[in-house]
A and B are shown apart, each in its own frame.
Chain A
């Protein structure tokens, strides 16, 4: 339980490095977690080789959802869009360094769902994207 609020999570929640918007951007997508109303928007800049050159997130929600968004954004800058498409649940858990129950897992995975819906150009961030 104390694990859930590890220093790294509290730190990224309180002082995120990548909170904000990119204007202009190449990809932008936002969605909610309907269970709790958490909201995440992600903006990406992608170069002609398909590499993510910059990214930001904005939104509101619990420490888990916001910290995992910040960590996720940090991890994808410099990666190719093709690699981003391959990210899954375990990658988020590795970033957070914790294990989560089913309810909090939804909080943690919101940013990845939004990111993947964005890069795939989908209208909705569905659960299947992060299974």
Chain B
């Protein structure tokens, strides 16, 4: 079934925006953050207009309604990734905080000097730097699954690393630069056979693919609301209940405690144990609405639509002389096209595209080691979502020809 993109686009008010008189926005930056549909914006407005109150402990009607909405959203998010229980969903600020939570709690309780953590060469800085910090503090050892020239993970090299008794394998499910969809189920299975715990960075996969934590058998999954039609400021960490229960708390404060004495405390049970302080309540309501919105369309349909768009985009981009797209073929990737254009720096490409209202991203996309691997300082990245159209791909291609005119 193909998506009714015209009716989907009508639900995203920003897609109608003119960035300058007569120049409509062509939004090709959804990998950085997605746009928000009316139902999500409305759900958060509704919260502030009708039942804004702090959650938990309050017995008044507004507090009860706010608490119920906060917890209902957690249930929706759990179902969305097929988590066995809602208490296995911890609200965080974003994917970065979710990964850091595991690094600061599980990893500090379980990793000793010399212990091996396996990452990959295509990680976002958010799945590199927390481990660099831990390596400096604790002397853990980091090894990386290499990326092949066509942008895939080298699983033979991974198998060799697994023979060195790893304690943790933490990797991205979809590269935010190459678009590569990694064989997560296989990587996790092999990790478990080697006795390691697994973390999947789902920042790019959860918004674009059907992700099922039970099928993957993943131990931790990190993702952000804002890349999946939801608001900024909220994300989630899924963790298997037995692991979360055994972990020490992350931040200390209100809500995360069962009992506090002057000189001691007892932590709350999960998920509250990891949610200190007043959380992003309106955002949780928006997160839940985003999940409803995506469910109403169907993640299989979202993925199929994006596949059609990326296939077309790769075909059109590759016909432009001087353009080189990085990453695997369309069948192995999501809706991300990072490219270089001979003789023109990505910043200049992005700036000139902006003249036509085309929003792309330029830089190393928080994946500097990956760019170094390919011997390039930066790329221009166009990325697609359920509201993207082939007309927008055409606009991008025409825009790149305009760049050529400026640079002669």
9 A-B pairs closest in CB distance: A62-B347, A62-B345, A37-B377, A36-B363, A63-B348, A62-B348, A37-B364, A5-B406, A1-B355
Sorting the interface of chain A by its residue count into under 10, 10 to 19, 20 to 34 or 35 or more gives 20 to 34
Nearest chain A residue, comparing its CB with the CB of B352: A5
Contact check, B364 vs A36: say whether CB atoms are below 8 A apart. yes
Nearest chain B residue, comparing its CB with the CB of A107: B347
Interface residues of A in 62-89 (CB under 8 A from B): 62-66
Residues of A contacting B345 in the complex (Cβ-Cβ under 8 angstroms): 60-63, 65-66
A119 at the interface (CB under 8 A from B): no
Q: How far is the CB of A31 from chain B (nearest CB, A)?
A: 14
| Cα–Cα distance between A4 and B406 once the two chains are bound (Å) | 11
Given A10-B407, A36-B363, answer yes or no on A5-B377 (Cβ-Cβ < 8 Å).
Answer: no
Residues of A contacting B348 in the complex (Cβ-Cβ under 8 angstroms): 5, 62-64
Contact check, B377 vs A10: say whether CB atoms are below 8 A apart. no
Contact check, B406 vs A60: say whether CB atoms are below 8 A apart. no
Residues of B within 8 A of A (CB): 343-348, 351-352, 354-355, 362-364, 368, 371, 377-378, 406-408
Residues of B contacting A14 in the complex (Cβ-Cβ under 8 angstroms): 343, 407-408
Contact check, A10 vs B363: say whether CB atoms are below 8 A apart. no
- Chain B contact residues, majority secondary structure: helix
Q: How far is the CB of B358 from chain A (nearest CB, A)?
A: 13
| Cα–Cα distance between A106 and B352 once the two chains are bound (Å) | 18
Q: How far is the CB of A2 from chain B (nearest CB, A)?
A: 8
Given A61-B345, A63-B345, A63-B348, answer yes or no on A37-B408 (Cβ-Cβ < 8 Å).
Answer: no
| Cα–Cα distance between A82 and B362 once the two chains are bound (Å) | 37
| Cα–Cα distance between A38 and B344 once the two chains are bound (Å) | 13
A39 at the interface (CB under 8 A from B): yes
Nearest chain B residue, comparing its CB with the CB of A63: B348
Residues of A contacting B377 in the complex (Cβ-Cβ under 8 angstroms): 36-39, 60-61
- Chain A contact residues, majority secondary structure: helix
| Cα–Cα distance between A38 and B347 once the two chains are bound (Å) | 10
Nearest chain A residue, comparing its CB with the CB of B343: A14
Task: Give 5 new A-B contacts, CB below 8 A, not counting A1-B354, A62-B351.
Answer: A1-B355, A5-B406, A37-B378, A64-B347, A104-B347
Nearest chain B residue, comparing its CB with the CB of A59: B377
Residues of B contacting A37 in the complex (Cβ-Cβ under 8 angstroms): 363-364, 368, 371, 377-378
Residues of A contacting B371 in the complex (Cβ-Cβ under 8 angstroms): 37
Q: How far is the CB of A33 from chain B (nearest CB, A)?
A: 10
| Among B348, B352, B371, residue most surrounded by chain A Cβ atoms (within 10 Å) | B348
Contact check, A36 vs B378: say whether CB atoms are below 8 A apart. yes
Contact check, A36 vs B351: say whether CB atoms are below 8 A apart. no
Residues of A contacting B355 in the complex (Cβ-Cβ under 8 angstroms): 1-2
Q: How far is the CB of B89 from chain A (nearest CB, A)?
A: 33
Q: How far is the CB of B333 from chain A (nearest CB, A)?
A: 23
Q: How far is the CB of A49 from chain B (nearest CB, A)?
A: 38
Nearest chain B residue, comparing its CB with the CB of A9: B348
Residues of A contacting B354 in the complex (Cβ-Cβ under 8 angstroms): 1
Residues of A contacting B368 in the complex (Cβ-Cβ under 8 angstroms): 37
| Cα–Cα distance between A56 and B55 once the two chains are bound (Å) | 62
30 contacts between A and B (CB under 8 A): A5-B352, A5-B407, A10-B407, A10-B408, A14-B343, A14-B407, A14-B408, A35-B363, A36-B347, A36-B362, A36-B364, A36-B377, A36-B378, A37-B363, A37-B364, A37-B368, A38-B347, A39-B377, A60-B345, A60-B377, A61-B345, A62-B345, A62-B346, A62-B348, A63-B344, A63-B345, A64-B348, A65-B345, A104-B351, A107-B347
